Amino acid sequence: MIWIAESYAALRDFFEAGGDVLWAILVVTILLWTFILERYWYFRLIQPRKTREALEKWNAMSDHDSWYAREYRERLLSEIRVDASQFIIYIKTIVAVLPLLGLLGTVTGMIQVFDVMTVLGTGNPRAMAGGVSAATIPTMSGMVAALSGLYFAASLDKRAKVEVERAADLLRYH
């Protein structure tokens, strides 16, 4: 049980050293991973069902060659595309924003350093070190969080396209 308290204390120290921006990074990162996990869950469980439904609707049609039929197929595919690529733009945006948040943390940390210098002069490196850690920790966290999401952003984007392609293959003209 002690390790829980210890890791909690370590985490708390980390967040206190990193400053307020770290909380924003945490929130955004949680958001990012929620979206990523939601997408995997969607592709595993929801997507096959949706494709099946679309296929059933398509097969239920009497003719598959008229203008109406082609437009109807386009609609079915578009619905699949809209659903599959949902949230992926958020994932991409968050991956792009996380380093910016890190930069924000760096700037606020440097402001803290210069605040200390304003009050105490350059003679107190220990007091300035607090600001320096507040400057570097968010940068690192922002980078790490962005990198953690980078692969999934690309992979999910590709997955969405693949799913639409597969559905298009299934909805064949007779």
Partner 1 sequence: MKLMSNSLIVLGLSLGMMAFTAPVMAQDEASTLDELLQQVREARTEADRRYREREQRFIEQRDQQEDRLQEARDRHAEEEERQERLSEAFEDNEQELSELNDRLQVRMGNLGELFGVVRQVSGDAQGIVRNSIVSAQFPDRGDTVARLSEARALPSIDQLEQLWFLFQEEMTESGKVVRYPTSIVRADGTREDVDVVRVGVFNTIYDDLFLRYLPETGQLVELGRQPAGRYRNMASGLYNAEEGTINSMAVDPSRGSLLALLIQTPSLGERIQDGGVPGYIILALGLIGVLLVIERLIFLTLAGQRIKAQIGAGKPNPNNALGRVMGAYAENKDDDVETLELKIDEAILKETPALEARLGAIKIIAAVAPLLGLLGTVIGMIRTFQMITLFGAGDPQLMADGISQALMTTAMGLSVAIPLVLLHAVVAAQSKRLVQILEEQSTGIIATHADKLK
Catalog residues that contact partner 1 under the rule CB under 8 A: 16, 28, 67-69, 71-79, 81-82, 86, 89-90, 92-94, 96-97, 100-101, 103-104, 107-108, 110-111, 114-122, 127
Q: How far is the CB of 26 from partner 1 (least distance, A)?
A: 14
Phi, psi of 77 (to 5 degrees): -65, -40
User: In the chain, what are the helix, strand and coil shares in percent, each to the nearest 5?
Assistant: 90, 0, 10
CA–CA separation, 60 vs 157, rounded Å? Answer: 31
Q: Toward partner 1, which CB reaches closer, 86 or 136?
A: 86
Q: How far is the CB of 33 from partner 1 (least distance, A)?
A: 15
Q: Toward partner 1, which CB reaches closer, 3 or 67?
A: 67
CA–CA separation, 110 vs 128, rounded Å? Answer: 9
Q: How far is the CB of 90 from partner 1 (least distance, A)?
A: 6
CA–CA separation, 104 vs 112, rounded Å? Answer: 12
The upper half-sphere exposure of residue 172, i.e. CA atoms within 13 Å in the direction of its Cβ, equals 3
Q: Toward partner 1, which CB reaches closer, 53 or 74?
A: 74
Q: Toward partner 1, which CB reaches closer, 59 or 78?
A: 78
Q: How far is the CB of 141 from partner 1 (least distance, A)?
A: 14
